[in-house]
A = this chain, B = another copy of it.
């Protein structure tokens, strides 16, 4: 198993180290060889090579079986000619990572951490399927000068079809309920989106489909989060809604995500950012990275037992009261990792 690891910036290197330590421990335990190579990326890429995504990083990622990314960005590189974020967008586009999957779940034991009233959020369990290589992010023309600015929200029907099919497939493995989010009362692209969803729905007669306008969806995520099973939406709406959804769990530091292409390596990463304010303090919660590793084991390598073992060990450590600062505890990043490692060994 060849893995490209991109530690990136801020707390990225700390949590990546945690993830890789545990991956190595698992490898020994289950006798797999995980061939991990670390590449410069994001701000670290700029500092090292002047480019957030230098050629060796693109090459290493393209040739890997899977990619682990920790986090990128920070004030230091905000004014760079090519920012860490530009690097991330280029990586997504180059590898064709059109499908971003973010599970949002609130177990009873963490519901009290939610900013939402506990009773309202308890039992929340849905997946946001976000289109990741189209829409406003990449559409042309896209330019600005001192007088005016233009971005373009462009979708080909085929781009809509493949992400919507992916979402239906996921719904079939779960509660068989799909909520498509658009703004079909205003946007031309949403009209094509909605029509396409309705067409593909005929291939999945078991799945119940509903359509929500993006503004109504932003309300329902707060008012009635337990009502969702699978949400599918375009790139920009998915960016906003999946981040909104992530905070209702109250535990941003615990959410992994996966991005997939038609073929080639998938990329796994925490949904949170690089948190420059707490970087280097050994206090970041490595759970999101650990769960990203588990997601990779399961989805890219079909190593289900290994993934289960890792998740179980990490949850055991949390249940035993070893909690990082974001969860109200005092456990350090490295101490948490050591505890999980000890269980695995």
Residues of A within 8 A of B (CB): 73, 83, 85, 89, 114-118, 120, 136-137, 139, 142-157, 183, 185-189, 191-193, 214-216, 218-219, 222-223, 236-237, 239-241, 243-244, 246-248
Partner of A157, one of B139, B146, B153: B146
Which residues of B are found within 8 Å of A152, using beta-carbon distances? 150-153
Please judge, given known A-B contacts A115-B116, A244-B244, whether A188 and B223 are in contact too, CB under 8 Å: no
How far apart are A98's CB and chain B's nearest CB, in angstroms?
16
Give A240 to B118 CA distance when docked, in angstroms.
Answer: 24
Q: Are A148 and B192 in contact (CB under 8 A)?
A: yes
**Which residue from chain B places its CB closest to the CB of A83 in the assembled complex?**
B185
Most chain B CB within 10 A, of A73, A115, A117, A147, is at A115
Q: Are B151 and A189 in contact (CB under 8 A)?
A: yes
Give A155 to B243 CA distance when docked, in angstroms.
Answer: 26
Give A117 to B222 CA distance when docked, in angstroms.
Answer: 12
A-B contacts, 5 of them at CB < 8 A, read: A117-B118, A149-B192, A151-B153, A218-B240, A218-B241
Please judge, given known A-B contacts A136-B187, A156-B147, A186-B136, whether A222 and B244 are in contact too, CB under 8 Å: yes
Q: Are B189 and A149 in contact (CB under 8 A)?
A: yes
